[in-house]
Amino acid sequence: MAFCPASEIQDLWVFGEYGDVNPSVTDSSTYTFMSPDTMEEVFDHEIEGCFLYSRAWNPSNKYLCDALARIEQTEAAHVTASGMAAITSSIMQLCSAGDEVVSGWTIYGGTYAFLANFLPRFGVKVRFVDMSNADMVADAVTEKTKVVYCETISNPLLQVPDIPRLKEIASRVGAQLLVDNTFAPLSVAPAQHGADIILHSLTKFINGTSDCVAGVICSSKEFSDEVGNVNSGATMLLGPVLDSLRSASILKNLHTLHLRIRQHSKNALYLATRMHEAGLTIHYPGLPDHPQHQRITSMLNTDYGYGGMLVINAGDQATADRLMVAMQEAKVGYLAVSLGYFKTLFSAPAHSTSSEIPEATQQEMGLTGGMVRMSVGLDQDIERTWERIESCMKQVGLLN
Ligand code: PLP
């Protein structure tokens, strides 16, 4: 039977101490020990069921980690206070001065800024390439490359890398393949295709209610232990711990993820198809004319579809701006950054979430001011939403 990530979650049975159907929430930063010897042992290495200090590890975070590791088919997971904390901690754990990173250039603007502006301060060289072209990656890696970094569906251009091929290229030089799967939870399980470490901003689809910021590193047990190590672990020492109350609420939201992703994908495919038929330039990996449609289809857990993100090319910034204002007024959704919310969110990435990327690079990669990125919501009546969008598009002169 095909891998079914949602069933993995369904099979995870955890209870509170009185048989509560939701596990008890850790409301402590520290834990008592019956003897100093055991405390010393826990400092040395993990003992199943023993906790020491909540920045390192706590029961609520463990429940969420277990669930996320199952979804991503990894041995372990480590939750963090944000998606950026998951990304930066993983990369800093793997790289030292003199090492190199090869990264896609169409990636979330914050990640781009970290790699372009912050990491080089520590002597790590970063090369940006078009990750949808594996030959470019093969040319860019060297013996010094420790990390090959990409997004399953890239933010904001929705390009799709060939994960199995990138794994081959990374392995050849002993590098780790890190994949940010924020845009494609459940739809693609990158570990199944060779990714070593899978990262998420839980802030987005996985939590789904835009009420918190959180992240996760899904990996081997060995890497998870390394990143949390008391002497040398990036999450332990930099300290981006996820609050346990938040962990507990994300875990509850996780149980409806399969339903939400199906609906996000169904609605996004419907809108992308209607827009495409109307003659607009649309980026959506589920459309047969998307340049990597076959590639993503070959990696897809088809039950969950191609995800909830699409990009409309409105031609120029002024039209994009008028379209977004019109859509907000027509109650299509909110003019807001972020994604994965139950209502539709839209923004122009060139001037917001990707503004960290220099204009010349934006042009080179094909990101323009006329692009509107849309995170399609869970609308029950998507036909009505399309009618509203169509009328906004007529209002701003995008359609006749
Ligand atoms: N990865 C992707 C693809 C994102 O879109 C974002 C944020 O927009 C992040 C990572 C960073 O996540 P967070 O805001 O939770 O730190």
Query: Do 271 and 287 sit in the same domain of this protein?
Result: yes
Mean pLDDT for all residues in the chain? 95
The answer for residues whose C-beta is within 8 angstroms of residue 78's C-beta and 6 or more apart is 65, 86, 216, 217, 219, 224, 227, 228, 235
Query: Do 229 and 318 sit in the same domain of this protein?
Result: no
Query: Do 216 and 295 sit in the same domain of this protein?
Result: no
* Residue 148 phi, psi (nearest 5): -110, 125
Query: Do 179 and 293 sit in the same domain of this protein?
Result: no
Residue 45 sits in a domain whose CATH number is: 3.40.640.10
In a domain, 145, yes or no: yes
The atom number, within ligand 1, closest to the CA of 85 reads 16
Number of domains the chain is built from: 2
Tens of pLDDT, residue by residue over 307-316, are 999 999 999 9
Tens of pLDDT, residue by residue over 127-173, are 999 999 999 999 999 999 999 999 999 999 999 999 999 999 999 99
Give the per-residue pLDDT at 42: 87
Q: How confident is the model at residue 350 (pLDDT cuts 50, 70, 90)?
A: very high
pLDDT tops 90 at residue 336: yes
Tens of pLDDT, residue by residue over 31-61, are 999 999 989 888 877 788 899 999 999 999 9
Q: Comparing C-alpha atoms, which of 180, 184, 134, 152 is closest to residue 307?
A: 184
The CA 234 to ligand 1 mean position distance, Å, reads 19
Q: How many helices (H) and strands (E) does the chain have?
A: 15, 12
The CA 80 to ligand 1 mean position distance, Å, reads 12
Question: Nearest C-alpha to atom 2 of ligand 1 is from which residue?
Answer: 108
Give the per-residue pLDDT at 30: 96
Tens of pLDDT, residue by residue over 180-211, are 999 999 999 999 999 999 999 999 999 999 99
Query: Do 234 and 297 sit in the same domain of this protein?
Result: no
- Write down which residue in 254, 273, 304 finishes a domain: 254
In a domain, 7, yes or no: no
- Write down which residue in 199, 219, 254 finishes a domain: 254
Q: Comparing C-alpha atoms, which of 84, 22, 25, 400 is closest to residue 215?
A: 84
The atom number, within ligand 1, closest to the CA of 204 reads 15
Distance CA 344, CA 361 (A): 28
Take residue 127 and report the two structure tokens written for it: 């090369």
Domain carrying residue 287: 257-395
Query: Do 17 and 151 sit in the same domain of this protein?
Result: yes
In a domain, 4, yes or no: no
- Write down which residue in 223, 254, 285 finishes a domain: 254
Give the per-residue pLDDT at 2: 55
The CA 394 to ligand 1 mean position distance, Å, reads 33
Q: Ligand 1, from 87, 203, 347: best to mutate by most atoms within 8 Å of Cβ?
A: 203
The CA 155 to ligand 1 mean position distance, Å, reads 9
Tens of pLDDT, residue by residue over 271-300, are 999 999 999 999 999 999 999 999 999 999
* Stretch among 147-161, 241-255, 260-274, 347-361 having the lowest mean pLDDT: 347-361
Q: Rg (Cα) of the chain, in Å, rounded?
A: 21
The CA 303 to ligand 1 mean position distance, Å, reads 25
In a domain, 151, yes or no: yes
Query: Do 172 and 225 sit in the same domain of this protein?
Result: yes
Give the per-residue pLDDT at 11: 78
The CA 110 to ligand 1 mean position distance, Å, reads 7
Q: 75 and 66 in contact (C-beta within 8 Å)? A: no
Query: Do 267 and 158 sit in the same domain of this protein?
Result: no
List, in sequence order, the alpha helices (H) in the chain: 5-10, 36-44, 59-72, 83-94, 109-113, 134-140, 163-172, 221-227, 234-238, 244-254, 257-277, 293-299, 317-329, 359-365, 382-395
The CA 84 to ligand 1 mean position distance, Å, reads 6
pLDDT tops 90 at residue 78: yes
Query: Do 99 and 222 sit in the same domain of this protein?
Result: yes
Query: Do 180 and 266 sit in the same domain of this protein?
Result: no
The CA 367 to ligand 1 mean position distance, Å, reads 18
The answer for residues whose C-beta is within 8 angstroms of residue 89's C-beta and 6 or more apart is 80, 217, 227, 234, 235, 238, 240
Residues with CB under 6 A from ligand 1: 82-84, 108, 110-111, 151, 155, 180, 182-183, 201, 203, 213, 215, 353
Distance CA 104, CA 126 (A): 10
Query: Do 276 and 375 sit in the same domain of this protein?
Result: yes
Q: Ligand 1, from 150, 187, 204: best to mutate by most atoms within 8 Å of Cβ?
A: 204
The CA 37 to ligand 1 mean position distance, Å, reads 41
- Terminal CA-CA length for the chain: 48
In a domain, 45, yes or no: yes
Residue 373 sits in a domain whose CATH number is: 3.90.1150.10
Question: Nearest C-alpha to atom 5 of ligand 1 is from which residue?
Answer: 108
Pick the more confident residue, 13 or 217.
217
The atom number, within ligand 1, closest to the CA of 155 reads 3
In a domain, 98, yes or no: yes
Question: Nearest C-alpha to atom 4 of ligand 1 is from which residue?
Answer: 108
Query: Do 105 and 229 sit in the same domain of this protein?
Result: yes
Q: How confident is the model at residue 1 (pLDDT cuts 50, 70, 90)?
A: very low
